[in-house]
Structure 1
Amino acid sequence: MLSAAVVLTLTVAGCAGNGSGFTDAASGKGGTCDPKQVHLVQSGRGFENPYYVAVDAGARAFAKSVGLQNNYTWIASEGDSSKQLTQIQSLLAKYGRCTVLNVDPNDNSILPAIVTAVQRQNAWLVTQWNKPDGMTPATSSAHWVAHMSVDGVPQGYNTAKALFQAMGGKGNIVALEGILDNVPAQQRFAGLQKALKEFPQVHLLEAQTANWDQTQAQNVTQTFLTKYGDKINGVWSANDAMGLGAIEALKAAGKVGVVKVSSVDGLQQTIDDVKANNVGYVATTRSTGSVQGGFGLAIGYAAAIGKIDPAKEPAEHRAFYLTYQGIVTSQNAGSLPSPTDASGLNFNNIWSVVASPIGN
């Protein structure tokens, strides 16, 4: 992970190339790239997390829709911010101003350096999930076309409510948090806290980060089980990968099915477990991975070829939440398409996935 000082150094160095830093968003113009010369880049943590397999599926579906399947590159940061920035800078140097990047920044602090690197090349950037408070595309750079996320508060709240109801409205839970610097982790935990206020007989014993990672979550859950034993009635997880790690720990302790679990993301294994209703998994959310991969690149591509001028787009197109899809329970799990099924994505209206603007 990059320290704040390193990010600041990289950002200043990036600005030195044009002497001005970020542009005034109002001065930007749409791109003039030949559609056939655009290179599409998707950056995320890695395919060991099935969420990113769904992101890649959506990205590839868009690339195919515009005949650029051979101009598509996936880069895996593997949770390393320094590596992610180096990868992005290398591809920008290789492909120049007609590079379109759809990036899930590993943490908030790396984003200023990414925006600077994109701007130096006059390339095009769409970001997912993470950005520092107060930093927006509209006030930073016309080449930072858009930022999209999912409002994590209702996700965390509704999956927590489902968990508490499965527990009979009372008992004790432990919580697995994501990377603490990540906005979705913070929002989802806020949703959990909101639900706890509505269920006064449910008590949070302890919360720890497992950094979105399944193996770490299994280890943290094992620690919780050693510490609290039979006091634990439920595990709330900020994402499915960690929820699956919790299930493995519960299996090893002989408590699978006895202790209830809920989480967020809509991975196929989680949906299957919720549908089967045999390991105590009670709820997750609908996957947005393919939508984020496909529409993130579609929006950046539209800017690169001049179909849209980011500086002239309304605020709700520059930073927005995706339409909330609700939660997955045993009642609807069997009717959902696979998270990697991108066949239903229609890129004719790139703004069709916008639900509401992100405030800052």
Structure 2
Amino acid sequence: MKKSVRCGDVIIGGGTPISIQSMTNVDTRDVKKVTDQIKALEEAGCDIVRLAIPDMEAAEALLQIKKNIKIPLVADIHFDYRLAIAAIKNGADKVRINPGNIGNEERVKAVVEAAKERKIPIRVGVNSGSLEKDILQKNGGVTAEGLTESALRHVAMLEQMDFDDIVISLKSSDVRLNYEAHKLISEQTDHPLHIGITESGTVNSGKLKSAIGIGGLLLAGIGDTMRVSLTGDPVKEVYFARDILKSIGIRPSGINLVSCPTCGRTRVDLEKIALQVEEAIGKIGAKREARGLPPITVAVMGCAVNGPGEAREADFGVAGGDGRGILFAKGEIIKTVSEDKIVEELVKLIEMADKK
């Protein structure tokens, strides 16, 4: 079993549930804007949030940001060790550094001492684009062995400084390379692993690479905390991370959406309806998970052939007709509504049931 570390009120490793992380993409110095985005991430079900700290003003902004959010905050630091120390003093629950670009060991030690004093963990982050020259030369380029060696080299440095609250992250945008590196390091360390596919792409292309890359690791029993990295709204990263965990049964709570592929019998705009339902129930699912409620299934079906049966088997569902939909709850027909009211009325049914 992996060691565990505490990041705010979230435990990473030690057999605890896999936590979901994301990262803000607005200016950290804009306290209101970044706070609003973190609150949206909280609502989506994010467990831990990371912020870029490019300068001292951003590090000092953490003090105000922390007052307005609930989830733990990770400071992402590159190059300047003084920013890491300032971020820690201003309330960071964890810092992410690449010891290789922080500078000499004395600077790394200064960060370690600050983390020790505040009793917070350090995430050692290594990416395929940031490997040391000697490792690149030794392996003839970026390899799984090189990523593993780099990460363990930095971990050893921290351990020699009598620091053990470490989370390891080694990421590549190459799915196979990423998998092989994680397999290697998981066999050589007991420190918790932060997994993901770095620079995976847009919401469309990145979801595919992330599903394969992260899903493969999770099925192999690798990973203690995770982030889906997508170019776009970070809230979508959280929704998709939850989908990955639900799909392989690791985090079964929330809402499972079932929708048919449509055919020539469909007489409603089922694609539009299904997408709108998916977005709406994402927020409801996050609230259900936070309350520890059991999972439910919502079916969005397109016609009268299989639609009523599938919708009736789900906890809640709709079977499309000619410009209308029949709503079901727990196997019972509730009412028929016009196409433009399907999403609104279906969501109402779910929310009303959750209040009981």
Q: Does TM-score exceed 0.5, indicating one fold?
A: no
Q: Which has the larger radius of gyration?
A: 2
- TM-score after normalising by structure 1: 0.28
